């Protein structure tokens, strides 16, 4: 390995880091740079290491060179991250909100991307070795993945998606069961996984009374978080694979194929390695063994899970699930890719039906037969779905969620509120199987946002119907006066009175 190569890496690194540091913080740029250069002057060490390995054969050298470079980058990145001023973290948050203020945040994001050498482009440590087995992806399959996701082969996941992974909040805290959700389209997927994590912690892994169950959400340590995530991902994939077979995709080091001309490389899809299983427990232990590929920064965890979901459902079955209203799973909205309802239904029910009503619709509103039937939800799933949006309501376009989704097997609901996703749940397993339980009960609410510091407790009273009292004296639409979560709950329990246990309604 020549010195020139090593030096050129260093020069490249500094060149990459400098402009962004200057841009971010002009005043103390020089001290920053000195620090970095100091670290780099450790180069003697690297040289020695390289020299030591000079006589290895060339392929060996290449591998060694890669891993050393990665370490080197990681060192630099660690430096950047630890030295990051507190307001940087906020910039990170803000710039996700690209819809609101595209100009400034795009610039900030650029700065940030430069400062932290794009974590997703170097995580060889998160890439599995090709010797792990499995099958490399074929160019045909890569093209089909693109088409079923985007409707073509030249769209690729944007930065928001690439940086998304499954990140838990503080272990042993009030929210130790909770994932931090992004603001973009990947949030939808994170929140369905969140619902399944709650399912595991409340109803699968323990056999406790309601009170203890709730406690089990607060006492989650890091290992248990990982087990819960593995169980949640497995449950969703297993349902999509019709409880027969699942394919998990991970990223390997190195490219698996040379793409066709019309295929745009994205550095992830071409490197997929596919692992197939036909026993649920094997899927779960495999995912658990490689949980860092889903929960570590730079893992592209959400994308890998989405690919696994599609591969487990298979492209053929997906095409059968869809109907003439939806031809692919993601849609472009406000510069980001959002999830079509078909993808949400695939995550919730294992079948990518594009509509939220029950069953299959053969007739139009006027009673005449439809040329092609519309596909709705055929069976109840563990996790349900509620939908409310003031905008759609005002335009009279709020979809009527059918009983299959509104009344799931377990009292956990993914909620779509104004187009963002959150979860409502109850620790009372029998809530939906005994109508007397539904007179007066508690629901817990988590919206995935960092601003939420504890799980909200709502008391739902379906008996007294007093929520409209007081509304009559003030003119105007009651739906404008009530928090969105309440309106969402009332799409299932009509007219229910909802109490926020002395806290200020925040959503
Ligand atoms: C859970 O507890 C109930 C009684 O409280 C018992 O009947 C049931 O078998 C237990 N289930 C498991 C899986 O331990
Ligand atoms: C993919 O990685 C290569 C080098 O590893 C880099 O040059 C290229 O910009 C990356 N492409 C994307 C789309 O990230
Ligand atoms: C489907 O939903 C409708 C109303 O949304 C309901 O009337 C019907 O009974 C449901 N069918 C089944 C099989 O649950
Ligand atoms: C409501 O909140 C108070 C604290 O403000 C708490 O002590 C009480 O247990 C809560 N109510 C219920 C039903 O959990
Ligand atoms: C939903 O949108 C309406 C206006 O369209 C707004 O008043 C309401 O606060 C929003 N709810 C949430 C939770 O963002």
Of 471, 495, 448, which Cα lies nearest the Cα of 195? 448
Is residue 468 very low, low, confident or very high in pLDDT (cuts 50, 70, 90)?
A: low
How is the chain split into domains, by residue range? 3-119
- Ligand 4 mean position to 460 CA, how many Å? 14
Ligand in closest contact with the CA of 255: 2
SS3 339: strand
> What per-residue confidence (pLDDT) applies to 100?
34
Nearest CA to ligand 4 atom 11: 501
Question: pTM of the entire structure?
Answer: 0.75
- Ligand 4 mean position to 506 CA, how many Å? 17
SS3 467: coil
Pocket test of ligand 2: the residue of 119, 120, 121, 124 to mutate, having most ligand atoms within 8 Å of its CB, is 121
Query: Which CA distances in Å does 457 have to 233, 342, 485?
Result: 27, 31, 12
Residue-wise pLDDT for 297-306, tens only, equals: 989 999 999 9
Q: Which two tokens stand for residue 207?
A: 């056999």
Give the separation between CA 224 and CA 419, rounded to whole angstroms.
Answer: 31
> What per-residue confidence (pLDDT) applies to 208?
64
> What per-residue confidence (pLDDT) applies to 211?
63
Of 378, 383, 426, 424, which Cα lies nearest the Cα of 402? 378
Residue-wise pLDDT for 101-111, tens only, equals: 333 344 443 43
- Ligand 3 mean position to 430 CA, how many Å? 21
More confidently predicted of 86 and 49: 49
Check pocket membership of 502 for ligand 4, CB cut-off 6 A: yes
Q: Which residue has the tokens 């089909």?
A: 144
- Ligand 2 mean position to 67 CA, how many Å? 17
**Percent of residues, the chain, with pLDDT higher than 70:** 70
* Biggest CA pair distance of the chain: 88
Pocket test of ligand 3: the residue of 376, 400, 403 to mutate, having most ligand atoms within 8 Å of its CB, is 403
User: Burial of 470 by CB count in 10 Å (0-12 exposed, 13-18 middle, 19+ buried)?
Assistant: exposed
SS3 content of the chain, % helix, strand, coil (to 5): 45, 15, 40
Give the separation between CA 338 and CA 258, rounded to whole angstroms.
Answer: 29
> What per-residue confidence (pLDDT) applies to 214?
80
- Ligand 3 mean position to 403 CA, how many Å? 5
- Ligand 4 mean position to 501 CA, how many Å? 6
> CB within 8 A of 372, min separation 6: which ones?
323, 324
Pocket test of ligand 2: the residue of 259, 267, 298, 300 to mutate, having most ligand atoms within 8 Å of its CB, is 267
Q: Which residue has the tokens 């029910």?
A: 349
Residue-wise pLDDT for 149-193, tens only, equals: 999 988 999 999 999 999 999 999 999 999 999 888 999 999 999
**Percent of residues, the chain, with pLDDT higher than 90:** 56
**In ligand 2, which atom is closest to the CA atom of 118?**
14
Query: Which CA distances in Å does 412 have to 143, 147, 203, 362, 443?
Result: 36, 32, 11, 30, 9
Pocket test of ligand 3: the residue of 375, 402, 409 to mutate, having most ligand atoms within 8 Å of its CB, is 402
| Burial readout 1-30 (b: 16 or more C-beta within 10 A, e: otherwise) | beeeebeebbeebeeebeebbeebeeeeee
Residue-wise pLDDT for 188-243, tens only, equals: 999 999 999 999 999 987 666 666 678 888 889 999 999 999 999 999 999 999 99
> CB within 8 A of 456, min separation 6: which ones?
444, 445, 446, 485, 500, 503, 506, 507
Asked if the model's pLDDT at residue 10 lies above 70, the reply is: no
């Amino acid at each position: 390995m020549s010195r020139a190569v090593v030096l050129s890496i260093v020069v490249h690194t500094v060149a990459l880091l400098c402009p962004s540091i200057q841009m971010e913080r002009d005043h103390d740029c020089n001290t920053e740079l000195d620090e970095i250069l100091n670290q780099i002057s450790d180069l003697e060490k690297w040289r020695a290491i390289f020299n030591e390995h000079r006589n290895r054969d060339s392929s060996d050298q290449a591998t060694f060179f890669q891993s050393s470079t990665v370490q080197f980058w990681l060192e630099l990145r660690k430096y950047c991250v630890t030295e990051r001023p507190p307001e940087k973290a906020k910039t990170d948050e803000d710039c996700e909100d690209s819809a609101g203020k595209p100009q400034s945040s795009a610039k900030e994001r650029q700065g940030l991307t430069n400062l932290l050498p794009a974590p997703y482009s170097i995580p060889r440590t998160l890439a599995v070795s090709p010797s792990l087995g499995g099958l490399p992806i074929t160019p045909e399959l890569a093209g089909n993945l693109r088409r079923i996701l985007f409707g073509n082969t030249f769209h690729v996941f944007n930065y928001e998606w690439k940086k998304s992974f499954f990140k838990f909040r503080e272990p042993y805290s009030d929210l130790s069961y909770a994932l931090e959700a992004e603001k973009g389209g990947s949030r939808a997927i994170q929140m369905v996984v969140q619902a399944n994590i709650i399912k595991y912690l409340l109803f699968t892994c323990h056999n406790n009374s309601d009170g203890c169950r709730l406690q089990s959400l607060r006492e989650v340590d890091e290992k248990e978080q990982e087990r819960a995530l593995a169980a949640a991902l497995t449950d969703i994939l297993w349902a999509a694979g019709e409880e027969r077979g699942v394919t998990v995709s991970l990223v390997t080091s190195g490219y698996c194929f040379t793409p066709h001309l019309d295929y745009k490389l994205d550095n992830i899809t071409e490197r997929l390695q596919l692992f197939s299983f036909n026993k649920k427990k094997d899927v779960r232990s495999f995912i658990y063994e490689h949980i860092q590929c889903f929960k570590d920064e730079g893992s592209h965890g959400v994308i890998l899970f989405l690919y696994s979901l599609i591969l487990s459902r298979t492209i053929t079955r997906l095409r059968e699930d869809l109907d003439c209203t939806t031809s692919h799973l993601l849609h472009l909205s406000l510069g980001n890719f959002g999830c079509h309802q078909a993808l949400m239904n695939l995550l919730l029910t294992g079948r990518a039906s594009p509509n939220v009503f029950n069953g299959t619709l053969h007739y139009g509103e006027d009673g005449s037969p439809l040329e092609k039937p519309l596909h709705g939800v055929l069976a109840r799933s563990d996790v349900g779905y509620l939908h409310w949006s003031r905008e759609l309501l005002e335009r009279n376009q709020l979809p009527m969620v059918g009983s299959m989704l509104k009344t799931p097997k377990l009292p956990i609901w993914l909620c779509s509120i104004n187009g963002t996703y959150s979860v409502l749940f109850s620790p009372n397993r029998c809530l939906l199987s005994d109508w007397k339980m539904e007179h007066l009960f508690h629901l817990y609410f988590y919206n995935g946002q960092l601003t939420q510091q504890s799980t909200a407790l709502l008391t739902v009273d379906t008996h007294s119907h007093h929520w409209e009292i007081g509304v009559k004296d003030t003119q105007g639409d009651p739906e404008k006066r009530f928090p969105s979560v309440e309106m969402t709950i009332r799409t299932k329990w009509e007219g229910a009175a909802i109490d926020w246990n002395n806290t200020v309604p925040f959503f």
